[in-house]
């Protein structure tokens, strides 16, 4: 069982999403797959701007910006015509757009609290998973978009919620395992969870990697792949010294955490946390250079492991 996580830069437009669907298809020929997606590139930043506009009393400008976002997503969905009658249908995308638009138009600077803002921010991931599921359907792969609010149980610290691990493990495996057993690819939103009373929360900016590792631990995955726009981890930022940066094929969890602390661009230590107890390795892969094997991070270096 594999968890594949795709970041926003891998989901920029219909062509990118179709390419991602092709990668998922290849992997799904070898193993059972659960997919975790970020919002399409730039969408969460746009939603943060929309929230700020509402909070500063500029709701009509916020609605204009939301319309532009809606058009961008509608163009993508028109481009990806799903062939299977699974729940990832365009009508669900329309419903989500209308609900979010109504919520923005009904909000005022006074009502735009952090609970409301998390609900609005969740739009990016809730739409992107439906687009990815559509693209998979287009390739003839059975896929179901799932909001992680059904899987990840959190406290009510809106904007930076923490998962409640035992409840998340129970709920995630209960809801996801039957799909995996039926050969359906669950396509799950990164970034979000929900309180026990079903109010949507977010886990903090850039937390979709963490969503992926949390779910991997919950379902007992064999490996997580974080698909991004670089080949993997270098010992320093290659942009600051292209000639001297050394590519790292493999790292132990401990080395990865030390590298992150010293400022290298590697997974956030929080992302590794759920994997460490379960000894699940993670691989950083490049969506735009999928033949590259990437950087493998695990309990101990494979070259010295027995
Ligand atoms: N879309 C969210 C963000 O931009 C989460 C993520 O991409 O990891 O912060
Ligand atoms: Mg991101």
Per-residue confidence band for 241, with pLDDT thresholds at 50, 70 and 90 = low
Where does the pLDDT of residue 240 fall: very low under 50, low under 70, confident under 90, or very high at 90 and above?
Answer: low
What pLDDT, in 10s, does the model give residues 166-187?
999 999 999 999 999 999 999 9
Say which ligand is closest to the CA of 211.
Answer: 1
Q: Please, how many CA atoms are within 13 Å of residue 269, restricted to the half-sphere of its CB? A: 9
Which pair of tokens denotes residue 215? 């779910």
Residue 286 pairs with which residues in a beta bridge?
228
Tell whether the torsion through CA atoms of 46, 52, 54 and 58 is positive or negative: negative
Ligand 2 geometric centre to CA of 289 (Å) = 19
Instruction: Give me ligand 1 centre to Cα 302, in Å.
Output: 31
Convert the pLDDT of each residue in 63-73 to its tens digit. 999 999 999 99
Give dist(CA 143, CA 35) in Å, integer: 10
Q: What is the full DSSP assignment across the chain?
A: -EEEEE-GGGGSSHHHHHHHHHHHHHHHTTS-EEEEE-PSTTHHHHHHHHHHHHHTT-HHHHHHHHHHHHHHHHHHHHHS---S-SS--HHHHHHHHHHHHHHHHT--TTT--HHHHHHHHTHHHHHHHHHHHHHHHHTT--EEEE-GGGT-BB-S-TTS--B-HHHHHHHHHHHHHHHHHTT-EEEEESSEEE-TT--EEE--TT-HHHHHHHHHHHHT-SEEEEEESSSSEESS-GGG-TTT--EESEEEHHHHHHHHHTT-S---HHHHHHHHHHT--EEEEETTSTTS--EEEESS-TTT--
| 254: its two tokens | 């401990």
Looking at residue 88, its pLDDT comes to 54
**Mean of pLDDT over the chain:** 92
| Dihedral angle over CA of 58, 63, 69, 74, nearest 10 | 180
> Across residues 269-273, what is the average pLDDT?
92
pLDDT band at 89 (very low <50, low <70, confident <90, very high): low
The reply to whether ligand 1 has any atom less than 6 angstroms from the CB of 287 is no
Residue 306 has pLDDT above 50, yes or no: no
* Residue 125 CB coordination number (10 Å): 28
Per-residue model confidence (pLDDT) at position 66: 98
Percent residues over pLDDT 70 in the chain: 93
Mutate to test the pocket of ligand 1, among 10, 191, 226 (most ligand atoms within 8 A of CB): 191
Residue 5 has pLDDT above 90, yes or no: yes
Token pair, residue 18, equals 């179709």
Q: Considering only 78-82, 113-117, 152-156, which range has the smallest mean pLDDT?
A: 78-82
- End-to-end CA gap in the chain: 23
* 172/71 Cα distance (integer angstroms): 32
Closest approach atom of ligand 1 to CA 125: 1
Q: How far is CA 280 from CA 55, 148, 177, 228, 250, in A?
A: 42, 21, 18, 19, 14
Residue 168 Cβ contacting ligand 1 at under 6 Å:
no
Q: Which atom of ligand 1 is nearest to the CA of 124?
A: 1
Report, as an integer, the average pLDDT of 186-197.
98
Please work out whether the CB of residue 38 comes within 6 Å of at least one atom of ligand 1: yes
Q: Tell me: the pLDDT tens digits for 145-166?
A: 999 999 999 999 999 999 999 9
Report the candidate in 146, 127, 148 with the shortest Cα–Cα distance to residue 80: 127
* Mean pLDDT on 1-16: 97
11, 12, 36, 39, best to mutate for ligand 1 pocket (most atoms within 8 Å of CB): 39
| pLDDT tier for residue 256 given thresholds of 50, 70 and 90 | very high
pLDDT of residue 290: 96
Tokens of 137: 């359907």
Q: Could you give the CA distance from residue 153 to residue 170 in angstroms, rounded to a whole number?
A: 10
Best of 190, 202, 209, 212 for a ligand 1 pocket test (most atoms within 8 Å of beta carbon): 190
Q: Which residue has the tokens 């249908």?
A: 89
Which pLDDT score is estimated for 300? 84
What mean pLDDT do residues 210-233 have? 96
């Amino acid at each position: 069982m594999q968890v594949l996580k795709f970041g926003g830069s891998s989901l920029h437009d219909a062509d990118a999403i179709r390419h991602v669907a092709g990668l998922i298809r290849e992997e799904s020929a070898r193993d059972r797959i659960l997919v975790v997606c970020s919002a399409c590139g730039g969408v969460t930043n746009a939603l943060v701007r929309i929230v700020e506009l509402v909070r500063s009393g500029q709701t009509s400008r916020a609605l204009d910006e939301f319309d532009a976002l809606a058009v961008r997503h509608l163009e993508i969905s028109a481009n990806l015509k799903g062939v299977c009658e699974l729940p990832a249908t365009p009508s669900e995308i329309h419903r989500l757009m209308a609900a979010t638009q109504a919520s923005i138009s009904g909000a005022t600077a006074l009502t735009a609290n952090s609970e409301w803002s998390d609900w609005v921010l969740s739009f990016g991931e809730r739409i992107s998973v439906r687009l990815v599921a559509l693209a998979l359907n287009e390739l003839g792969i059975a896929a179901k978009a799932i909001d992680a609010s059904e899987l990840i149980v959190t406290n009510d610290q809106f904007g930076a919620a923490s998962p409640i691990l035992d409840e998340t493990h129970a709920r995630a495996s209960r809801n996801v395992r039957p799909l995996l057993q039926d050969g359906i690819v669950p396509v799950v939103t990164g970034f979000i969870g929900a309180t026990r009373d079903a109010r949507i929360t977010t886990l903090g900016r850039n937390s979709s990697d963490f969503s992926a590792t949390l779910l991997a631990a919950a379902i007992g995955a064999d490996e997580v792949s974080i698909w991004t726009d670089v080949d993997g981890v270098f010992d320093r930022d290659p942009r600051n010294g292209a000639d001297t940066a050394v590519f790292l094929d493999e790292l132990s969890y401990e080395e990865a955490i030390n590298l992150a602390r010293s400022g290298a661009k590697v997974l956030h230590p929080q992302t590794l946390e759920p994997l460490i107890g379960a000894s699940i390795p993670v691989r950083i892969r490049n969506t735009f250079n999928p033949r590259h094997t990437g950087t493998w991070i695990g309990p101990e270096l494979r070259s010295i492991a027995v």
